[in-house]
Amino acid sequence: MTNHLLSIVTFLPLAGVVVLLLWRGATDNASRVVGLLTTIATFIVSLAVLGRFQAGNPAYQLVERATWVKGLGLEYLVGIDGVSLWMVLLTTFLMPLAVLASWPIDRNVRLYMAGMLTLETAVLGSFVSLDLLLFFLFFEAILVPMYLIIGGWGGERRVYAAIKFFLFTMAGSAFLLVAILILYGKAAGPLGHGTFDIRALTAVASGLPATTTRWLFLAFFVAFAVKVPLFPLHTWLPDAHTEAPTAGSVLLAGVLLKVGAYGLIRFNLMLFPDASKYFATFVSILALIGIVYGAVVALIQTDIKRLVAYSSVSHLGFVVLGIFAFTSQGVSGGVLQMVNHGLSTGALFLLVGMVYERTHTRDLTKMGGLARVMPWLAGAFLFTVFASVGLPGLNNFVGEFLVIIGSFAVNPWFGAVAATAVILAAIYLLWSYQRMAYGPVREEHTHLPDVSLREVLVLAPILSLLLVFGVYPRLLTDRIDPTTSAVIAHVDPAHATQVGPVTGLAAASPGATP
């Protein structure tokens, strides 16, 4: 049983899907409960995974291997390391919250829950696959449930947003498939037969000529850059985030975008280290443009969901900047930011959804003074805004700080530009909060209810984590650092250090306690 923990975590949601599909007469509430129980069960199993994970070990753990298609060298190969561990946990943590937040949905609830659970399996599968084609399969499999959730239960322009999302991502991954197949073919030479195993392919890829690896890097990069999203391939994101239902936005921002960044670390860096160094400046500049562009465009938004969407573009630019700095602070900061952004932006979308359910508008110019009407909700919103801005003591600060330091070490200009974006984030987030929560209350908003019990259950876990990870990031970094050190050692041995960045900075950074 314990040998197959990862498979259980990945496929448990599918059990829920089967139940939902077969149980034709399920009432709405029954479907919701099935969804909730399945996601909570998956979360508990993932805690077991966390428990089994050895903190100091940079190699892949809990590996399971089974031959899938012998003739093609295709294997069912899964495993996790410090990076994917937290991605898995982030996913399983956010899913029950997303299901709870979806309680108000009342159309086709059964299909909706089935879609959410299928999405969970696809995302978890992407994070744990160590076989390239298996990864690609799960990566593509994410498209359909997400498309259906956006298109079926979203806002007014949902069909347009869903199609854009689908076609953008599929076009990006088209090149990924070609690159994977080319690598597979190249492996046939030295290994005698083709394989999709990442570990074996790393060795194969290192033997390839530089031009080939650069093209392959670009092919992989395009697919992940669409997902992250990196400027200029980000245009699908604002529409998809805005039109998706609340839980869809939470999952999209919290988890799906991370698959792109995860792919960059797991594949681009590990398979093509030299090409990564070659393109590092280019990618870093794209990331910086994304950071600033996202922040500036967020400034002028009046639709609060679109504002948060652009802030995601900005924050994920930080992640990519950190990853391609190839310093221990940078990469660990990037991974840390992946987790933290998932939590803080997930919380933001949850809160925006709650406001929308009450006011039925996302337009900031039509809101005002909500802090007086719904003090607790507004308070939670303020708390999350502070976390997203990067206030020390809350989680985003640690990640952003590390990324800025990490990229500063590579090029002072990078660090400086990234730091200015933090100021921009403070501007747009605080200003939007002010427009929403302070000022005169509108007639129609004076009798809105404050948080209900269900909403407290949704918000409390996430907000407490915002605080916990801000004050004690060691919880995360202890498991991330060995892996990122190994990654850096693989890519750029000159920068590798053995001391984790957070412990190294423990004396200096104000918020962290040893």
Partner 1 sequence: MPELILCGAAIFGLLYEALAPRTDRRWHLALALAGLGAAALATFPLWHWAGHSTVMAGMVAVDRFSVVSRLVLLSIAAMAVLYATHYMARSGDEIRGELYPLLLFATAGMTLITAAADLIVVFLALEVLSLALYVLAGISGRAASTEAAMKYFLLGAFSSAFFLFGVAWAYGATGTTKITAIANELAGRTGSQAIALLAFAFLAIGFAFKVAAVPFHMWTPDVYQGAPTPVTAFMSAATKTAAFFALIRVFDVSFQPLTWDWIPVVWVLAAITMVVGSVLAIAQSDIKRMLAYSSIANAGFVLTGLTSANAIGIRSAMFYLIAYAAMTLGAFGVVMLVSAQGEEQTSLVSYAGLSRRSPLLAGLLTLFLLSLAGIPPTAGFMAKVGVFGAAIQAGYWPLTVIGVLASVAAAFFYIRVIVLMYMQEPQGVQDEDRTVLLRVALAIPAILTLVLGVFPGLLVGVLEKASILRW
Nearest residue to 252 (alpha-carbon basis) of 234, 269, 268 = 234
* Sole binder of partner 1 in the list 30, 45, 170, 191 (CB under 8 A): 170
Which CB, 192 or 514, lies closer to partner 1? 192
Distance CA 276, CA 198 (A): 17
Widest CA span in the chain: 74
Binding flag, residue 177, partner 1 (CB under 8 A): yes
Segment interacting with partner 1 (CB under 8 A) among 144-152, 377-385, 455-463, 466-474? 144-152
Binding flag, residue 341, partner 1 (CB under 8 A): no
Which CB, 194 or 473, lies closer to partner 1? 194
How many angstroms from the chain centroid is the CA of residue 21?
28
Nearest residue to 486 (alpha-carbon basis) of 288, 270, 279, 274 = 270
Binding flag, residue 236, partner 1 (CB under 8 A): no
Segment interacting with partner 1 (CB under 8 A) among 27-35, 139-147, 243-251, 280-288? 139-147
Distance CA 129, CA 76 (A): 8
* Sole binder of partner 1 in the list 166, 231, 381, 386 (CB under 8 A): 166
* Sole binder of partner 1 in the list 27, 65, 104, 185 (CB under 8 A): 185
Binding flag, residue 489, partner 1 (CB under 8 A): no
Which CB, 190 or 412, lies closer to partner 1? 190
Binding flag, residue 158, partner 1 (CB under 8 A): yes
How many residues comprise the chain? 514
Phi, psi (5° rounding) for residue 65? -135, 130
Binding flag, residue 181, partner 1 (CB under 8 A): yes
Which CB, 215 or 438, lies closer to partner 1? 215
The least distance separating partner 1 from the CB of residue 166, rounded to whole angstroms, comes to 6
Phi, psi (5° rounding) for residue 193? -150, 155
> Cα angle at 351 between 347 and 355, to 5 degrees?
170
Distance CA 490, CA 317 (A): 23
In the shown chain, the binding pattern of residues 98 to 137 toward partner 1, with x for contact by CB under 8 A and - for none, equals -----------------------------------x--xx
Q: Which two tokens stand for residue 125?
A: 């599968």
Among residue numbers 205 through 224, which ones bind partner 1 (CB under 8 A)?
none
Distance CA 32, CA 23 (A): 13
How many angstroms from the chain centroid is the CA of residue 81?
16
The least distance separating partner 1 from the CB of residue 441, rounded to whole angstroms, comes to 37
Which CB, 140 or 450, lies closer to partner 1? 140
C-beta of residue 241 within 8 angstroms of C-beta of residue 310:
no
Which CB, 151 or 333, lies closer to partner 1? 151
Segment interacting with partner 1 (CB under 8 A) among 1-9, 157-165, 349-357, 503-511? 157-165
Segment interacting with partner 1 (CB under 8 A) among 79-87, 150-158, 371-379, 387-395? 150-158
Distance CA 179, CA 216 (A): 6
Q: Give how many residues touch partner 1 by CB under 8 A.
A: 35
- Amino acid at position 172, single letter: G
* Sole binder of partner 1 in the list 59, 66, 188, 506 (CB under 8 A): 188
Distances (CA, A) of 335 to 145, 303, 318, 434, 477: 26, 29, 10, 31, 9
273-299 and 474-491 helices cross at what angle (nearest 10)? 130
Cα pseudo-dihedral 294, 338, 140, 133, rounded to 10: 130
Binding flag, residue 200, partner 1 (CB under 8 A): no
Q: Which two tokens stand for residue 248?
A: 């869809």
Binding flag, residue 167, partner 1 (CB under 8 A): yes
Segment interacting with partner 1 (CB under 8 A) among 154-162, 343-351, 448-456, 479-487? 154-162
Which CB, 130 or 161, lies closer to partner 1? 161
Binding flag, residue 143, partner 1 (CB under 8 A): yes
Among residue numbers 47 through 76, which ones bind partner 1 (CB under 8 A)?
68-72
Sequential DSSP letters for 341-378: HHHHHHHHHHHHHHHHHHHS--BGGG---HHHH-HHHH
Binding flag, residue 175, partner 1 (CB under 8 A): yes
Binding flag, residue 140, partner 1 (CB under 8 A): yes
Binding flag, residue 182, partner 1 (CB under 8 A): yes
Binding flag, residue 431, partner 1 (CB under 8 A): no
Phi, psi (5° rounding) for residue 201? -70, -25
Task: State the Rg of the chain over Cα.
Answer: 22
C-beta of residue 272 within 8 angstroms of C-beta of residue 201:
no
Please state, as a whole number, how many other Cβ atoms lie within 10 Å of the Cβ of residue 361.
16
Binding flag, residue 11, partner 1 (CB under 8 A): no
Which CB, 186 or 341, lies closer to partner 1? 186
Binding flag, residue 148, partner 1 (CB under 8 A): yes
Distance CA 247, CA 156 (A): 16
Which CB, 167 or 416, lies closer to partner 1? 167
Distances (CA, A) of 15 to 2, 146, 244, 449: 18, 19, 25, 37
Which stretches of the chain bind partner 1, using CB under 8 A? 68-72, 133, 136-138, 140-141, 143-144, 147-148, 151-152, 158-159, 162-163, 166-167, 170-171, 174-175, 177-178, 181-182, 184-185, 188, 194
